């Protein structure tokens, strides 16, 4: 992907992005170096307004894509949390039911023992 505006000496290049230049700006082969080999004070000084607008738009789109990806991941995490909470509530309810049934069985066993003692006492 290369953008060139009116034969300018700056362009964006995917390989420059992959090489570590976050702006994706590389100099073309026929660009003229700064006088006396000194680097220009502002790297963006020779970049046309259209190119900077395109770069800003691209950065904005990348930010929107990253934000959407984060929102999607957060929605998945929220769904997992909700599913976990629902499962824990269901499990807690089952444990309460088991405890109630166990308590009822213990009470029934106590009554059966009392009845058996009375029957033995009558004999």
| pLDDT digits 0-9 by tens, 54-106 | 899 999 999 999 999 999 999 999 999 999 999 999 999 999 999 999 999 99
Domain that holds residue 38: 1-45
Residues 60, 15 share a domain: no
pTM for this model (two decimals): 0.45
- The 3-class SS string of 22-87 reads CCCEEECCCCCCCHHHCCCCCCCCCCCHHHHHHHHHHHHHHHHHHHHHHHHHHHHHHHHHHHHHHH
Residues 52, 2 share a domain: no
Instruction: Kindly state the tokens that stand for 112.
Output: 């059966």
Residues 60, 40 share a domain: no
Residues 110, 55 share a domain: yes
Residues 101, 86 share a domain: yes
How many domains are contained in the chain? 2
Contact (Cβ atoms closer than 8 angstroms) between residue 12 and residue 22: no
d(CA 20, CA 13): 11
Last residue of a domain, one of 11, 27, 45: 45
Q: Which of 6-20, 35-49, 85-99 has the lowest mean pLDDT?
A: 6-20
Last residue of a domain, one of 29, 45, 61: 45
Residues 77, 37 share a domain: no
Question: If you search the block for the tokens 């230049």, which residue do you land on?
Answer: 21
Percent of the chain predicted with pLDDT > 70:
62
């Amino acid at each position: 992907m290369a953008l060139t505006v009116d034969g300018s000496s700056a362009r964006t290049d995917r390989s420059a992005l992959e090489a570590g230049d976050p702006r994706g700006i590389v100099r073309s082969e026929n660009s003229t170096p700064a006088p006396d080999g000194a680097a220009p004070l502002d790297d963006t000084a020779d970049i046309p307004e259209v190119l900077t607008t395109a770069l800003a738009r691209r950065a904005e789109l990348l930010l929107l894509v990253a934000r959407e990806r984060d929102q999607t991941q957060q929605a998945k995490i929220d769904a997992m949390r909700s599913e976990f909470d629902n499962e824990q509530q269901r499990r807690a309810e089952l444990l309460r039911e088991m405890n109630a049934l166990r308590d009822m069985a213990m009470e029934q066993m106590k009554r059966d023992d009392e009845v058996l003692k009375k029957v033995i006492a009558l004999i």
